[in-house]
Amino acid sequence: MTREDVIKGLNACIADAPDKCWENGDYPACPYNRNVDGCQLRMMKDVAELLKEQEPVKPVYYRMYDYDMPVFACGVCGKEIGLRGFAHYCQNCGRAVKWE
């Protein structure tokens, strides 16, 4: 599921009681309703996966800069993010950087 599908499913559960979705079996606003029980569990797993993707990542050593200053790279995409402590986010993938 995409991020937009997860948001759509959450909003459907918030706007209407989930039991309406289950009773009808064809709630059009919810992408999780495929006439299969457990749609809320699948949605919660997708939410947990999306939240995990938002966790800050530790940078990795990249190379030595002039004057013996180490330069670091993003722990996810590997692109250079700069000197220790200066970057709060990767400019390439947008992940937060966890320096400590």
pLDDT digits (tens, 9 = 90+) for 41-79: 888 999 999 998 889 999 998 887 777 788 999 999 999
Q: What is the pLDDT of residue 22?
A: 52
Distance between CA atoms of 2 and 84, rounded to whole angstroms? 33
Q: Report helix, strand or coil for 68.
A: helix
Q: What is the pLDDT of residue 57?
A: 93
The predicted model gives 21-41 an average pLDDT of: 66
SS (H, E, C) 6-61: HHHHHHHHHHCCHHHHHHHCCCCCCCCCCCCCCHHHHHHHHHHHHHHHCCCECCEE
With 0.75 as the threshold, say if the pTM is over it: no
The predicted model gives 10-37 an average pLDDT of: 65
Q: Report helix, strand or coil for 74.
A: coil
pLDDT band at 34 (very low <50, low <70, confident <90, very high): low
Does residue 11 carry a pLDDT above 70? yes
Q: What is the pLDDT of residue 35?
A: 53
Find residue 71's DSSP bridge partners. Answer: 63, 83
User: How many Å from the N-terminal Cα to the C-terminal Cα in the chain?
Assistant: 32
55-64 burial: b if 16+ Cβ within 10 Å, else e: eeeebeebee
> Across all residues in the chain, what is the average pLDDT?
82
